[in-house]
Amino acid sequence: MHLISNLAYHLVHINRIIYRITPKYHIDCHQYNQVKILLLDGIMEGVILAAGYGSRLRSIASGPKFLIDINGKPLIYYPLYSMAKIGVNKVYVVVNYDNLEYILKFKNNLELNIDIRVVVNEEPQRGNGYSLYTARKVVREDQFILSMSDHIYPAKVLEKVIEFKKIFAGDAEVVVGGDSIPRFIDVDEATKILADSDFNLINIGKDLVNYTHIDIGVFMMSRNVFYYAAEYFRNYFEAGLSKLIKWFKNRGLRVKVCDIEGVPWKDIDTPEDLYMVLMGEYREVLNIWERGV
């Protein structure tokens, strides 16, 4: 069964290549959205978590981490653009009060064909799991894309996650994006995932000794998760996203792992990360993003 599933997964990729008559970089976002409308199948909302304080970048940042300049664009532009490119038309950005003024000032200057709404996490000290929970007030679609604000990845990553959900995980409430062959990540610092041969998440966290993937900071979720998040936060004060995902699993939700298999991506956590992406050996991440492949 596992062999058949893998074959089906690769056939979908072959099919997509055959019918891609015009290269991606020759079409604008609006045209691209029309091509991908069947792929999305109603997944038109996204959530981006940007309520953290980015303490490790304070030495080089005068404002919020998500507005750090990367090749003339704010860092948050990169996940927003990738979402817009696959057809997501509304994104809720969760910020803290200190960042609110900045995002309101910049969101209308991003020149993206996407409706950006701002949501405030009034208690950011409760973790980015609570930032996700804050989005319960605004998310209306049955399924939505979730992303970190400080991750750079091409639209292909989102395509893979959505296709995986359709082929292997139609009944899953959570799909966690993972990378089994990460090339631009400090694995010691990364959040790790252990999945079984049927793509079921077994465990997730930074301290795992045995793991199969690295968490890429991209997820697909059912709106049903907010019910279980409410249950968690009635009993506990704080949760990072990994802890909340483990809670979902332990409460019986189906959590699957999608392997992006080495598609270049990078999280920007430190000044060293920034330097390596702009001028060092991680520059390929930006090159791939710019080419849209």
Give the pLDDT confidence score for residue 110 in this predicted structure.
Answer: 83
Q: Domain residues of the chain, as ranges?
A: 2-291
How many angstroms separate the Cα of 228 from the Cα of each of 4, 35, 108, 119, 234?
33, 35, 34, 20, 10
Structure tokens at 216: 């890429």
Is a pLDDT exceeding 50 seen at residue 16?
Answer: no
Structure tokens at 257: 């792992």
Residue 41 confidence class, pLDDT cut points 50, 70, 90:
low
Residue 287 confidence class, pLDDT cut points 50, 70, 90:
very high
Give the pLDDT confidence score for residue 264 in this predicted structure.
Answer: 97
Is a pLDDT exceeding 60 seen at residue 17?
Answer: no
Structure tokens at 89: 């038309």
Q: In this prediction, what percent of the chain has a pLDDT beyond 90? A: 74
Q: In this structure, how many other beta carbons lie within 10 angstroms of the beta carbon of residue 101? A: 12
Is a pLDDT exceeding 50 seen at residue 200?
Answer: yes
Is a pLDDT exceeding 70 seen at residue 19?
Answer: no
Give the pLDDT confidence score for residue 107 in this predicted structure.
Answer: 87
Question: For the chain, what is the mean pLDDT?
Answer: 86
Backbone angles phi, psi at 150, to 5 degrees: -110, 20
Sign of the dihedral through C-alpha 174, 110, 78, 41: positive
Q: In this prediction, what percent of the chain has a pLDDT beyond 70? A: 84
How many angstroms separate the Cα of 153 from the Cα of each of 157, 184, 250, 253, 274?
7, 11, 30, 27, 14
Is a pLDDT exceeding 90 seen at residue 50?
Answer: yes
Q: What is the CATH number of domain 2-291?
A: 3.90.550.10
Is a pLDDT exceeding 60 seen at residue 32?
Answer: no
Closest CA to 107 of 125, 119, 122: 119
240 CB-contact burial (10 Å; exposed 0-12 / middle 13-18 / buried 19+): middle
pLDDT digits (tens, 9 = 90+) for 158-195: 999 999 999 999 999 999 999 999 999 999 999 999 99
Is a pLDDT exceeding 50 seen at residue 14?
Answer: no
pLDDT digits (tens, 9 = 90+) for 108-132: 888 888 999 999 999 999 999 999 9
Is a pLDDT exceeding 50 seen at residue 22?
Answer: no
pLDDT digits (tens, 9 = 90+) for 57-106: 777 767 899 999 999 999 999 999 999 999 999 999 999 999 999 999 88
Distance, CA of 47 to CA of 36 (rounded, Å)? 19
- What are the residues facing 192 on neighbouring strands? 205, 214
